[in-house]
Amino acid sequence: MKMFKEEENVVCECSKALLLALGQKDEHTQLHSERVVELSSEVGIALKLDINQIKTLRISAAFHDIGKIGIPDNVLLKPSSFNDEEWEIMKSHAINSEKIVNTLDFENSDIIAKAVRHHHEYYNGNGYPDRLKGESIPIYSRIISLADSYDAMSSPRPYHNKRLHAEIMKILEEENGIKHDPKIFEIFKNIIQISKYKVN
Ligand SMILES: [Fe+2]
C-alpha cells in the first residue's frame, strides 16, 4: 500500500471527496462543478495558460461552489426566487468556498482561495463579494464565471427550463463587458462550438 502520494494527487482526491460530500446534499451543484472544471480547462487551454495554470484553474473550478455545503437547504434547494435575506445567505457561498480552501495548505492554495472568492465578481465591478472590476478580478475567476454561467443556463432547474445554445449565447452577448471579460468571451465563442459541453 502506498503511504505517500504526490501532493497534487492528494489535492485532486480531496476536491473529489469534498464535491461528493456537497453532492450528497445537492447533486446538481456537484455535477455542475464537475462540468465547470472541464469547460474552464478548455477555455484556459485556448487562452494558452501553461500546465501549472491549468492545474490551478481546474482545482479552483472544482472548489468554486464548495461553500454551498454551508448554505441551509431551505435556501440552497429553494425552487423559487430568493427574498433579500435569502439572497444574502446564498451570496455567502463564495466566501465560504474561500474559507474551505484556506484550511488546506498546498501549492497555490492562496491563489485558488482568491479564485473561488471572486468567481461572482462582474467585469464592470457590480458583482460580489468585493465589487472587483476588470482585470483586478483573478483570471481564473473570470474564466470560471463564464463557464459557470453557460453551464447554469444549459441545465434545467426548478425555476427555469434548460435553455438552447443560441438563447444562452444571446444572453452572454448581452452580458459581455458587464458580467464577463470581453477578451475571454471572444475565445469562449470559438471554444464552445467544438466543446462536448455545448448544448443543442
Ligand atoms: Fe457560485
The pLDDT value recorded for residue 83 is 96
Cell of 182: 470581453
| Burial class of residue 103 (count of CB atoms within 10 Å of its CB; 0-12, 13-18, 19+) | exposed
Instruction: Read off the pLDDT band of 14 (50, 70, 90).
Output: confident
Residues 78-87: what's their mean pLDDT? 93
| Local structure of residue 56 (DSSP, 8 states) | H
Cβ 32 vs Cβ 144: under 8 Å: no
Half-sphere exposure of 80 (CA within 13 A, CB side): 1
Residues 173-185: what's their mean pLDDT? 97
Cβ 75 vs Cβ 82: under 8 Å: yes
Q: Between residues 37 and 3, which one has the greater pLDDT? A: 37
Structural fold of domain 7-194: Hypothetical protein af1432 (1.10.3210)
CA of 38 to the centre of ligand 1 (A): 16
2 pLDDT exceeds 50? no
Taking only the tens place, the pLDDT of each residue in 133-174 is 999 999 999 999 999 999 999 988 777 788 999 999 999 999
Peptide bond into 129 cis (omega under 30): yes
CA of 68 to the centre of ligand 1 (A): 8
The pLDDT value recorded for residue 153 is 94
Residues 31-35: what's their mean pLDDT? 95
The pLDDT value recorded for residue 7 is 67
Work out the end-to-end distance of the chain between its first and last CA atoms, rounded to an integer number of angstroms: 46
Residue 90: which of 111, 71, 107, 73 has the closest Cα?
71
Other beta carbons within 10 angstroms of residue 39's beta carbon come to: 25
Q: Is 195 helix (H, G, I), strand (E, B) or coil?
A: coil
The pLDDT value recorded for residue 5 is 58
CA of 182 to the centre of ligand 1 (A): 20
Taking only the tens place, the pLDDT of each residue in 122-134 is 999 999 999 999 9
All residues with CB under 5 Å from ion ligand 1: 65
What is the amino acid identity at position 68? K
Q: What is the pTM of this model?
A: 0.93
The pLDDT value recorded for residue 162 is 85
189 pLDDT exceeds 70? yes
CA of 129 to the centre of ligand 1 (A): 11
CA of 93 to the centre of ligand 1 (A): 7
Cβ 115 vs Cβ 15: under 8 Å: no
Instruction: Read off the pLDDT band of 63 (50, 70, 90).
Output: very high
Domain ranges within the chain, ordered by starting residue: 7-194
Residues 30-46: what's their mean pLDDT? 96
Cell of 47: 487562452
CA of 40 to the centre of ligand 1 (A): 14
* Location of C-alpha cell 423559487: 80
CA of 57 to the centre of ligand 1 (A): 15
CA of 94 to the centre of ligand 1 (A): 6
- Rounded Cα distance, 176 and 168, in Å: 12
- Rounded Cα distance, 102 and 119, in Å: 16
Cell of 38: 472541464
Residues 77-93: what's their mean pLDDT? 94
3 pLDDT exceeds 70? no
110 pLDDT exceeds 60? yes
CA of 171 to the centre of ligand 1 (A): 18
